[in-house]
Each structure stands twice: as structure tokens, then as C-alpha cells.
Amino acid sequence: MSRIGKVPVTIPKGVKIAISGQTINVEGPKGKLSKTFAPVVAIKQEGETITVTPIEESRFAGIMHGTARAIIKNMVQGVVSGYSKKLEIEGVGFKATLKGDSLDLALGYSHPILYKLPAGIKVDIVDGTKLEVSGADKEIVGKVAAEVKHFYPVEPYKGKGVRLVGEYVRRKEGKKTA
């Protein structure tokens, strides 16, 4: 049995939960989320808590027991307070702007990069170089931050590129001429 899976998820005030079979719908002040889980776990709402129990004794059921509980907890927390990731862009002429529902990135290439933001994701830009990706779904927020970072990962010689705030990048010494 999973230690994480045994702990029930508490439902805060203002959050509506609807469970139909293996699908759970969570609605709160920050939005709506829906997820369908494998049929090896049973999801039950008992008052102000949700419990997840494995139906069978297989390895996959044990794995999904803790995973399903963690995802449900993240869904509840996401619709209450939301999630955010902060990125910073470093480099001469590197910047980001919003154009409608697209993120326009100038990262030193010969062309601008237009990244269409998924539904439910909001990006705030400060000074053109600091981005905050926020939304209710933890998975999509992390995915968007990773995809933006992937357009120009930080290079180790000058430190140019897109990085998460607080991320350590090992710097290398450049070539020396003797």
C-alpha cells in the first residue's frame, strides 16, 4: 500500500467535486479541472474528504494508488490557489511580449518565435525579460514553462538563454589563447 495513497484529500470550502466512475471533476474559484483514472483504483467522496483505494493487488494498482491521490490533491490545490512558474530571459536583445493568446519570443534567432498558449494558462511579463506562467493545472503550467525554456536553453559560457528563477547553471571558462 502506498503511504501517500492512504492519506485522504481534504476538500476546502468553495470547491465542488463530482465523481462519475473513474472520472473526477473539480471546480473552484480558479477554474475547472477534469481527469480520468485507470480502473484499478476506486475514488470515493466521504463528506469533506476524498479517499483512493486500489481495487486489485497488482503492481500497477499499487503505483496508481499513490499517483491518483497526488493528482487529485494537485487538482484541488490548483482550483483553490493555482500554480505558477517564474522564468527569466538573459541575453542582449532577448525579450518576450504577449500578442493576443500567443507569446512572442525574441531569442537571438533570425525569426521571432510565436508560442500559442494553451487554454487556462496566463503569462505575465515584467520588463520584457521576466515571465510568470500561471494556471490551475500543475501539469500544463510545468509543460509550458519547459517548452518556453526549450526554445533557448541556457548556454554555459555566457549564461544566455531562458532559465527558471533560481536555477543554477554551471559556468565554463572559455577558450584561452596563449
Residue 11 has pLDDT above 90, yes or no: yes
Alpha helix stretches (DSSP H) within the chain? 3-6, 59-80, 138-151
Residue found by looking up cell 494508488 in the block: 65
Q: CA torsion sign, 103 to 130 to 141 to 60?
A: positive
Mean pLDDT of 93-109: 93
Distance CA(87)–CA(128), nearest Å, equals 11
Element (H, E) at 36: strand 31-36
Q: What is the pTM of this model?
A: 0.88
Mean pLDDT of 102-117: 94
Q: What is the pLDDT of residue 1?
A: 64
Query: Residue 2: which pLDDT band, with cuts at 50, 70 and 90?
Result: confident
- Residue 130 pairs in a beta bridge with 88, 126
Question: What would the pLDDT profile of 136-160 be if each residue is shown by its tens digit?
Answer: 999 999 999 999 999 999 999 998 9
Q: What is the pLDDT of residue 83?
A: 95
Strand pairing category for 83-90 and 23-28: unpaired
Mean pLDDT of 3-22: 91
Residue 101 has pLDDT above 70, yes or no: yes
The answer to whether 106 touches 95, Cβ cutoff 8 Å, is yes
Give the rounded percent of residues in the chain with a pLDDT score beyond 90: 83
Kindly list the structural domains of the chain, giving each domain's residue range(s) and its CATH number in brackets, ordered by start.
3-80 (3.90.930.12), 83-164 (3.90.930.12)
Distance CA(71)–CA(78), nearest Å, equals 10
